[in-house]
Amino acid sequence: MISQDILKQSISDSINNKTKPPGSLGVLEDMAMQIGMLQGTSRPELRKPHIVVFAGDHGIAATGLVNPYPQEVTAQMVLNFLNGGAAINVFCRQNKIELNVVDAGVKNEFITGTETGEARLIHAKIGEGTRNYLEEPAMSEDELNRSIESGKLIVSRIQKDGCNIIGFGEMGIGNTSSAALIMSAITGTPVRDCVGRGTGVDDDQLKTKISTLEKVFEKHWGEINEGPANSNLSVFSHNILRCFGGFEIAMMVGAFLKAAELRMVVVVDGFIATAALLCAKLIEPDLLRACIFAHTSGEQGHQKMLEFLGAKPLLQFRMRLGEGTGAALAIPLIQSSVNFLNEMASFDSAGVSNKDSLELSQS
């Protein structure tokens, strides 16, 4: 097997020998290097890009304390995805990305055959939404484990169909609250500095949302940290997900883990997807080598998450929609990084003099 140092030098030589000034393609060159190292080749390729949108309901949403929209909107938006009417549908159509929508735990029964061809529905329901974490943990240990394993299985099946670049999105009224709690638990940032406006709460609603989530955090923090969680990051991550997570977030954790294991290029979307990634990284610290961060969300906590991870996102569009929309917009840029490496002429093949050859001819 070729050594990592030799591979890195080979990819670097290929990048620098293209008909351009060194470094002039900036971040595209960085991505070409990352993808080449991930795939173990100086001629990487991207096949059958996919976005997977995980959908689930949250028990807290039924209280109305953290969300201005009713819980029923989750199911309504899933139907919108299946009918081709959402932003993620538009961007996937435009960029030739296959779209899968997963019922991870929506409080609704979807009938196979309701799809219009715009998106494929995957049935993976763990339950009719999580429990209200103001009163008890969001899910049981068994539900958590089944969610993570389902996420892994979904990605495995997509990869076996030929896909090697994948982005994850989500839909779930109340899931920005779960993401804020997860962020606070892992980064140590106070809850109030993690909480944003989500689907558009006003100032009074934001105060209620913050105070509610501070109570939730205080209620569960002792349980999250008890026993082996003090020394085992994987147990710590599981406890956080069990107390604060959603079925769609836990399923996304499994999806991140399996995609990285399979050396797929993983495109990280916004606030909620990055919260899932924080949990996955506690379980598998080497996860980030597979990840490209699509954008910085307009949700207030996302920039802090990215700084915590040392991540540099591609886009700054002030988006905070979710659904995987940021990932869908970023995939064409990622494809460009591979295409220039494989298709752009070298100085030798184009008969163009480069700085090194000029210096040699003049010596």
What residues act catalytically? 323
CA-nearest of 276, 280, 292 to 331 is 292
Axis-axis angle for helices 175-187, 247-261 (nearest 10)? 60
What is 228-279 written as a DSSP string?
Answer: GGGT-HHHHHHHHHHHH--HHHHHHHHHHHHHHHTT-EEEE-SHHHHHHHHH
Give CA separation, 54 vs 102, 122, 247, in Å: 5, 9, 8
Could you give the CA distance from residue 63 to residue 326 in angstroms, rounded to a whole number?
30
CA-nearest of 268, 328, 275, 323 to 301 is 275
- Give me the amino acid identity at 161: D
Could you give the CA distance from residue 350 to residue 92 in angstroms, rounded to a whole number?
35
Could you give the CA distance from residue 130 to residue 90 in angstroms, rounded to a whole number?
30
Strands 265-268 and 98-105: unpaired
Kindly state the tokens that stand for 161.
């169909």
What is 161-174 written as a DSSP string?
Answer: TT--EEEEEEE-TT
Axis-axis angle for helices 247-261, 233-244 (nearest 10)? 150
Could you give the CA distance from residue 99 to residue 81 in angstroms, rounded to a whole number?
9
Residues 6+ apart with CB under 8 A from 226: 239
Kindly state the tokens that stand for 13.
């030589």
Give the number of other CB atoms < 10 A from CB of residue 114: 11
Could you give the CA distance from residue 252 to residue 264 in angstroms, rounded to a whole number?
15
- Rounded to 5°, angle at Cα 350 from 344 and 351: 155
